[in-house]
Amino acid sequence: MAKIVFKIHKAGEHGRSPIEIVLENNGKKYRKTTESTDNLLSTLDKVLKSAKLKVESLKNIQLETHKEAGLTSIRIIKSIIKALLV
């Protein structure tokens, strides 16, 4: 089963938190990082294409945040996770 982790890193100077998407599938790891939430969905799509998976196959989704991560980034990721699990 594929596992995906959204890792929100410490917010930078302008309050933006880099977001790393890590997908584990069949012992392989695929990862991409985006500097803004504006590109988050396209980055997720790239990771899924690299692993040759469809979004429907994601059932194990986790969120890891740095204690100084941006609140907006956290909220956006939580909303995306909620939508993916429906």
For 14-70, what is each residue's pLDDT tens digit?
A: 778 899 999 999 899 999 999 988 899 999 999 999 999 998 888 899 999 999 998
Domain residue limits at 28: 3-84
| Helical segments of 1-86, H only | 40-51, 71-84
Each residue's pLDDT tens digit, 8-26: 999 887 778 899 999 999 8
Closest C-alpha to 67, from 14, 8, 16: 8
Q: Which amino acid is at 2?
A: A
Residue 58: which CATH number? 3.30.420.40
Q: Into how many domains does the chain fold?
A: 1
